[in-house]
């Protein structure tokens, strides 16, 4: 993985944003990614209908800071599938 920014550096610094501004930008990114994916989990057939959705960075923002707000670096997962992806456990299917 290519990490161009030290782990202890705040991602918002890269975009000249305060932590609050970066939080707002992430919220807008998340909303846009969900709309583009029609609020559908990309792992079809295993999820309950109407599960709440999360936006997910395909390339993790902790490793690829500059892509953290890039719409093309996002997809949509239901919360149980998102948890399984990050933590290896699935709940409330």
Q: What is the pLDDT of residue 44?
A: 67
- pLDDT tens, residue order, the chain (93 aa): 445 554 445 677 788 888 889 989 999 999 999 999 888 898 866 677 778 999 999 998 888 888 999 999 999 999 888 888 888 865 554
Residue-level length of the chain = 93
Q: Rounded to a whole number, what is the largest CA-CA distance in the chain? A: 41
Q: Give whole-number Cα distances, 61 to 6, 38, 48, 67, 90, in Å.
A: 12, 22, 28, 7, 22
From start to end of the chain, where are the E strands? 53-57, 74-78
Sequence ranges of the domains in the chain: 11-87
């Amino acid at each position: 993985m290519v990490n161009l920014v030290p782990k202890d550096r705040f991602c918002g610094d890269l975009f000249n944003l305060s932590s609050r501004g970066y939080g707002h930008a992430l919220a807008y990114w998340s909303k846009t990614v969900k709309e583009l994916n029609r609020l559908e989990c990309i792992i079809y057939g295993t999820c309950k209908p109407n599960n709440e959705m999360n936006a997910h960075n395909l390339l993790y923002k902790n490793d690829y800071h500059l892509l953290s707000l890039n719409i093309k670096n996002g997809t949509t997962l239901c919360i149980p599938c998102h948890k399984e992806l990050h933590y290896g456990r699935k709940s409330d299917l």
